[in-house]
Amino acid sequence: MNRFPIWKYLVIAVVLIVSTIYTLPNFFGETPAVQISSTRQSATVDTALMARVETVLQQQGIKPAGLFLDGNSLKVRFNDPDTQIKARDIIQQALGDTYIIALNLLAASPEWLSKLHANPMFLGLDLRGGVHFLLEVDMQAAVDKTMERYAGDIRRELKTAKIRYGAIKRTGNTALEVQLRDQETLNAAADKLARSLPSLTFSSDDQLFRLSLALKPEEITRIQSDAVSQNITTLHNRVNELGVAEPVIQQAGPSRIVVQLPGVQDTAKAKDILGRTATLQVRMVEDDPSRVAEAMAGNVPTGYELLDEASSQGIQKILLKKDVELTGDNINSAQPGFDQNGGASVDIGLDSTGAEIFRSLTAENIGKRMAMVLVEKNKSEVVTAPVIRSEIGGGRVQISGSMNPAEANDVALLLRAGSLAAPMNIIEERTIGPSLGKENIEKGFSATLWGFAAIAVFMVLYYRVFGLISVASLGVNLFMLIALLSMLQATLTLPGIAAIALTLGMAIDANVLINERIREELRNGVPPQSAIQAGYAHAWATILDSNVTTLIAGIALLVFGSGPVRGFAVVHCLGILTSMFSAVLVSRGIVNLWYGRRRRLTAVSIGQVWKPETK
Amino acid sequence: MEFFRIKRDIPFMSYGKLTTAISLVTFILAVFFLFSKGLNLSVEFTGGTVMEVQYQQPANLADIRHRVETLKVGEVQVQSLGTSRDVLIRLPSKEGTSSAKLSEQVMGLLKAGDAGVQLRKVEFVGPSVGEELVSHGLTAILLVCLGIVIYLALRFEWRLAVSAIIANMHDVVIIIGCFALFQWEFSLTVLAGVLAVLGYSVNESVVVFDRIRENFRKPGMRGRSTAEVIDNAITSTISRTMITHGSTETVVLAMLLFGGPALHGFAMALTIGIVFGIYSSVLVASPLALALGVKREHMIKIVKPKEEAVV
């Protein structure tokens, strides 16, 4: 009666083999490696690069433990961290800025395992150290910025069409108003703008000759989703500059972005580069002495703004027009360099729109000064305010001024990384030092180990052979859970380890239920084989009910939890599923193998079965 | 070995009045502490910055506090964390300063005092995130309760479902009450622990209910009163109850002892939760079900007519 058909044993065997294979990579540890990847089309990662890296390393007397191409990146393994860091510097020098070179840890498991996509569990930041940010995009600012750009577009369109206009005013959150001179110019302007700016709705006031323009609702949603995706791209670029091996940059909700940088040691620099929300604006300087004097006296004329300019003589005040001529949106590239006098400079390349605007701006304003303004967190600072010597066409611009090479490098980095569509605020941050991560792993591991050991000892003492079987199935449960986590590459965090430990503690419940039931049947005088049968049959309904209720709680945690709660819930839910399998099917399988074949089974080893003397 | 050698059914139900009184008193006390002392909510809920730093030698807390206070960010908490070399610094959130700047400023000040200080961990949470977490946490608790009640009502009977959930909410309130009384930090991880207890301890009630249903169906139990049937069900599962909970408690205690400060709150919530879980599922849920008037007929309905015909 206690026999399984062959297929059930086969299922168990297959599950065991698969679990073992996918658990294995976790035992091999990790080796230090350098990861080389590229973000540009021109710089490819291929076998030629692999050969180049190998030669460069050999020239310096470093022998890598292995090189291999993995998708778009080249990974080079080393035997120890010292060589890894030395090699990183050498490769960086040889390849230059075209490639992203990052330190990484790779699984040290044999190749045949990697071919099966058997990788170690993916550790969360709290276990490997690193930085986690939750950023919120300022949507109002994104709308504001778009409105500013439209105002600039309108001004330019009307100017090129030689239509005279008065003030351009912002009349609402998403509406603009242009004052025109008469009916004729009003019609001409409406006609012209409707053709070139199709994303706006138009209405004209024929009495006051005013043209009202408003954003279409679908345009507003588009601006917001664009703002998030553009910021994600920008963050990608900035993170690439940091050289992080496996960054996570994801949208979380309509206006939020999660950034995770595992293994980042210099957290201050990471925060600095990510936290900056710099945008570049090109604006004209007002050098008329009377206006400047008036502004200095504290009476800044309307349409003007007094800003700080950092120079080698210290901070100076400079008077700027409020109109923004050009923004960082039109910047294609920015590189640090040197000007003809040997001073540090930033070389900027503009896109075609930007180049055109810049050409006409410089042509109209020869001899005047223009300012490059870096806007960071609502604070504007003039980076430099050079005099325009001649018309600059072709979109190549060089800024030089009060900069040292490091500053030039920083400014270039920010400009190159692209500007943000809207500023972002860090609303959540977690930084875990690498040593703390290691400690967390050790502590979580020892907690699980001690818990498991204590249960195992008790079960074997109390239930003898059946206890041993229970412990074996609990071990299988642990294997299956780790294998499943490795397979899914679900992120394992410290609460996740806690969930593994807790799952073990709770999974034993099913075995205790079964064993107690069998004892009870034996106590009532049922023969052993039937007792086993009845024990499992009776316990099953209870096990199912209790696991479903636990699963309900687990799923609610998964849906509503965030951060640590979700990390716990994922493992908890998976653990409940694996425990049902192992406690019922695997333990029964072993019992059937052990006892099922014996025809005349008179006793089973399930510890003492005490019977009350008086019945 | 056999721990539980019970000769006859223990009359658990006759203790009903006593246990209800005990539960009511602890429950009221827990609610009282919850309101009088309030929860010591972690930075995840309140918003603000928490930093963990490590010194090479025992840290001078007064000096650290003095240094951090020069930033004038409001009430600053400085306390040692486990060892004398590890220090925890809590800063409230301040308008206009980003956390990135704040934690760096603090590190700058601390490094000026002792260059050997190392930053181990920073956690910053904006105030809006905290509010969301509270509302999500409450929604989660509500949904877990609802889900469990619906499942148990379908599987057993609404009277049992309601008494199980009341018994378990009583556990949850007592855990939270303990956290309020001792002013232990209530973090997201602790919330996860509390919710895990909710699922876990319903487990226990389910096992007992399962037995009650089974007993109602047994021909030998026909003549017995409902109270006697419940007593028998609890008595025959008590051995399993103690061993299972003992095992889980062992693991949780291992976590409490070896898991370090990061898992401490979680393990603590579970430790309390499991102890009260045993008590409440045996001595609160069942008397409640009895008080709600659960009868044989309520349970037998689920039995297939064929089996009924045999009896």
Min Cα–Cα distance to chain A from B131, Å = 12
Strand, coil or helix: what is A244?
strand
Tokens of A253: 């909700």
Does A347 map to a domain? Answer: yes
The CATH number given to whatever domain includes residue B92 is: 3.30.70.3400
Give the strand pairing for A99-107 and A379-384: unpaired
Min Cα–Cα distance to chain B from A347, Å = 30
* pLDDT for the residue A456: 94
Note whether A425 contacts B125, CB cutoff 8 Å.
no
Q: How far apart are CA B198 and CA A535, in angstroms?
A: 27
**Cβ-contact A87, A64 below 8 angstroms:** yes
The H or E element spanning position B142 is helix B127-155
A·B CB contacts under 8 A: 239
Note whether B192 contacts A561, CB cutoff 8 Å.
yes
Tokens 């499943």 belong to A484
Pair B230, B157 in one domain: yes
Note whether A516 contacts B191, CB cutoff 8 Å.
no
Among the listed residues B208, B223, B206, B235, the one whose alpha carbon sits nearest the alpha carbon of residue B296: B223
Pair B66, B184 in one domain: no
Min Cα–Cα distance to chain A from B188, Å = 6
Among the listed residues A463, A158, A255, the one whose alpha carbon sits nearest the alpha carbon of residue B244: A463
Residue among B129, B246, B263 whose CB faces A428 most closely: B129
Residue among B119, B198, B267 whose CB faces A553 most closely: B198
Q: How far apart are CA B262 and CA B82, in angstroms?
A: 11
Beta strands in A27-129 (DSSP E): 30-38, 66-70, 73-77, 99-107, 122-123
Does B4 map to a domain? Answer: no
Pair A164, A51 in one domain: no
Residues 173-192 of B with CB under 8 A from A: 187-189, 191-192
Residue among A455, A541, A556 whose CB faces B147 most closely: A556
Does B26 map to a domain? Answer: yes
ipTM value: 0.84
Task: Please list every residue in chain A whose beta carbon sits closer than 8 Å to the beta carbon of residue B86.
Answer: none
**Cβ-contact A597, A527 below 8 angstroms:** no
Residue B275 has pLDDT above 70, yes or no: yes
Pair A101, A152 in one domain: no
Q: Rg for chain B (alpha carbons), in Å?
A: 25
Selected residue of B136, B240, B253 to mutate for chain A interface (largest A Cβ count, 10 A) = B240
The CATH number given to whatever domain includes residue B267 is: 1.20.1640.10
CA angle B215, B216, B220 (to 5 degrees): 70
Tokens 């090189």 belong to A67
Q: How far apart are CA B43 and CA A239, in angstroms?
A: 27
Note whether B200 contacts A494, CB cutoff 8 Å.
no
Min Cα–Cα distance to chain A from B136, Å = 6
Q: Which of B94-103, B224-233, B278-287 has the highest mean pLDDT?
A: B224-233
The CATH number given to whatever domain includes residue A481 is: 1.20.1640.10
How far is CA A476 from each of CA A73, A147, A483, A506, rounded to the nearest angstrom?
Answer: 36, 62, 10, 14
Question: Of A368, A395, A428, which marks where a domain is finished?
Answer: A428
Does A113 map to a domain? Answer: no
Q: How far apart are CA A496 and CA A121, in angstroms?
A: 11
Note whether B7 contacts A614, CB cutoff 8 Å.
yes
Note whether A432 contacts B121, CB cutoff 8 Å.
yes
Total domains present in chain A = 4
**Cβ-contact A458, A474 below 8 angstroms:** no
Tokens of A440: 């967390």
* pLDDT for the residue A19: 93
Helix, strand, coil percent values for chain B (each to nearest 5): 70, 10, 20
The CATH number given to whatever domain includes residue A156 is: 3.30.1240
Does A168 map to a domain? Answer: yes
* pLDDT for the residue A422: 74
Does B5 map to a domain? Answer: no
Which residue ranges of chain A lie beneath pLDDT 70?
A: 1, 39-43, 97-98, 241, 265-268, 275-279, 310-314, 332-333, 352, 376-379, 401-402, 410-411, 413-421, 611-615
Does A359 map to a domain? Answer: yes
Check residue A197 and report its DSSP letter: -
Does B3 map to a domain? Answer: no
Residue among A495, A501, A516 whose CB faces B239 most closely: A516
Residue among B139, B155, B200 whose CB faces A560 most closely: B139
Distance of CA A274 to the CA centre of its chain: 12
Pair B121, B135 in one domain: no
Does A529 map to a domain? Answer: yes
* pLDDT for the residue A565: 82
Q: How far apart are CA A574 and CA A582, in angstroms?
A: 12
Task: Please list every residue in chain B whose beta carbon sits closer than 8 Å to the beta carbon of residue A257.
Answer: none
Question: Of B109, B125, B141, which marks where a domain is finished?
Answer: B125
Total domains present in chain B = 2
Does B2 map to a domain? Answer: no
Does B202 map to a domain? Answer: yes
Note whether A430 contacts B123, CB cutoff 8 Å.
yes
Task: Please list every residue in chain A whose beta carbon sits closer than 8 Å to the beta carbon of residue B270.
Answer: 502
* pLDDT for the residue B100: 62
Residue B307 has pLDDT above 60, yes or no: no
- Positive/negative CA dihedral, B133, B137, B138, B140: positive
**Could you write out the DSSP letters of every residue in A132-143?**
EEEEEE-HHHHH
Pair A93, A157 in one domain: no
Note whether B252 contacts A504, CB cutoff 8 Å.
no
Residue among A435, A542, A564 whose CB faces B188 most closely: A564
Task: Please list every residue in chain A whose beta carbon sits closer than 8 Å to the beta carbon of residue B152.
Answer: 549
Residue B116 has pLDDT above 50, yes or no: yes
Task: Please list every residue in chain A whose beta carbon sits closer than 8 Å to the beta carbon of residue B125.
Answer: 427-429
Residue B303 has pLDDT above 70, yes or no: no
Task: Please list every residue in chain A whose beta carbon sits closer than 8 Å to the beta carbon of residue B258.
Answer: 443, 446-447, 450
N- to C-terminal Cα separation, chain B? 37
Q: Sheet of A396-400: strands edge to edge?
A: A331-338, A344-350, A396-400
Pair A375, A522 in one domain: no
Task: Please list every residue in chain B whose beta carbon sits closer than 8 Å to the beta carbon of residue A423.
Answer: none
* Nearest-10 Cα torsion for A105, A111, A117, A119: -40
Among the listed residues B128, B98, B107, the one whose alpha carbon sits nearest the alpha carbon of residue A379: B98
Strand, coil or helix: what is B93?
coil
Q: Sheet of A73-77: strands edge to edge?
A: A66-70, A73-77, A30-38, A99-107
Does B97 map to a domain? Answer: yes
Nearest CA in chain A to B142: A556
* pLDDT for the residue A198: 81
Pair B111, B224 in one domain: no
Mean predicted confidence (pLDDT) in B86-90: 87
Does A258 map to a domain? Answer: no
Q: How far apart are CA A482 and CA A24, in angstroms?
A: 10
Pair A444, A493 in one domain: yes
Pair B76, B163 in one domain: no
Nearest 5°: phi and psi at A182?
Answer: -150, 180
The H or E element spanning position A333 is strand A331-338
Task: Please list every residue in chain A whose beta carbon sits closer than 8 Å to the beta carbon of residue B96.
Answer: none
Note whether A428 contacts B124, CB cutoff 8 Å.
yes
Pair B58, B19 in one domain: no
Does A134 map to a domain? Answer: no
**Cβ-contact A119, A492 below 8 angstroms:** no
Among the listed residues A440, A436, A459, the one whose alpha carbon sits nearest the alpha carbon of residue A448: A440
Check residue B222 and report its DSSP letter: T
Pair B219, B173 in one domain: yes
Secondary structure tally for chain A: helices H, strands E: 17, 23
Task: Please list every residue in chain A whose beta carbon sits closer than 8 Å to the beta carbon of residue B189.
Answer: 495, 498, 564-565, 568
* pLDDT for the residue A615: 41
Residue among B189, B251, B266 whose CB faces A451 most closely: B251
Q: How many CA atoms lie within 13 A of A431 on its CB side?
A: 25
**Cβ-contact A27, A121 below 8 angstroms:** no
Pair A411, A437 in one domain: no
Q: How far apart are CA A328 and CA A420, in angstroms?
A: 8
Q: CB-based contacts of B40: which residues, under 8 Å, 6+ apart?
A: B179, B180, B183, B184, B185, B186
Min Cα–Cα distance to chain B from A65, Å = 32
Pair A452, A390 in one domain: no
Is B267 part of the contact surface with chain A (CB cutoff 8 Å)?
yes
pTM, two decimals, is 0.76
Min Cα–Cα distance to chain B from A533, Å = 17
Min Cα–Cα distance to chain A from B117, Å = 13
Task: Please list every residue in chain B whose beta carbon sits closer than 8 Å to the beta carbon of residue A556.
Answer: 140, 143-144, 147, 195
Selected residue of A560, A566, A572, A609 to mutate for chain B interface (largest B Cβ count, 10 A) = A560
Pair B152, B172 in one domain: yes
Q: CB-based contacts of A272: which residues, under 8 Å, 6+ apart?
A: B100
Nearest CA in chain A to B93: A427
Pair A570, A518 in one domain: yes
Pair A440, A537 in one domain: yes
Among the listed residues B107, B263, B167, the one whose alpha carbon sits nearest the alpha carbon of residue A444: B263
Tokens of B296: 């044989």
Nearest 5°: phi and psi at A334?
Answer: -150, 125
Does A66 map to a domain? Answer: yes
Nearest 5°: phi and psi at B55?
Answer: -105, 160
Is B279 part of the contact surface with chain A (CB cutoff 8 Å)?
no
Query: What is the tens place of the pLDDT at every residue in B123-172?
Result: 888 777 778 888 888 888 888 888 888 888 888 888 888 988 888 888 89
Pair A480, A552 in one domain: yes
Strand, coil or helix: what is A210?
strand
Pair B179, B290 in one domain: yes
Note whether A513 contacts B195, CB cutoff 8 Å.
no
Task: Please list every residue in chain B whose beta carbon sits closer than 8 Å to the beta carbon of residue A608.
Answer: 1-2
Note whether B100 contacts A549, CB cutoff 8 Å.
no
Q: How far apart are CA A388 and CA A325, in angstroms?
A: 14
Pair B223, B112 in one domain: no
Q: How far apart are CA A436 and CA A417, in angstroms?
A: 32
Pair A282, A208 in one domain: no
Q: How far apart are CA B250 and CA A449, in angstroms?
A: 11
Note whether A552 contacts B260, CB cutoff 8 Å.
no
Pair A317, A373 in one domain: yes
Is B252 part of the contact surface with chain A (CB cutoff 8 Å)?
yes
Min Cα–Cα distance to chain B from A214, Å = 31
* pLDDT for the residue A480: 94
Min Cα–Cα distance to chain B from A516, Å = 6
Note whether B121 contacts A506, CB cutoff 8 Å.
no
Residues 216-235 of B with CB under 8 A from A: none
Min Cα–Cα distance to chain A from B2, Å = 6
Does B17 map to a domain? Answer: yes
Query: What is the tens place of the pLDDT at every residue in B26-41?
Result: 999 999 999 999 888 8
Residue among A433, A455, A553 whose CB faces B121 most closely: A433
Question: Of B73, B96, B125, which marks where a domain is finished?
Answer: B125
Pair B21, B165 in one domain: yes
Pair B217, B69 in one domain: no
Structural domain that includes position B244: 12-41+129-310
Question: Of B125, B160, B190, which marks where a domain is finished?
Answer: B125
Structural domain that includes position A367: 276-428
Output the average pLDDT for chain B.
83
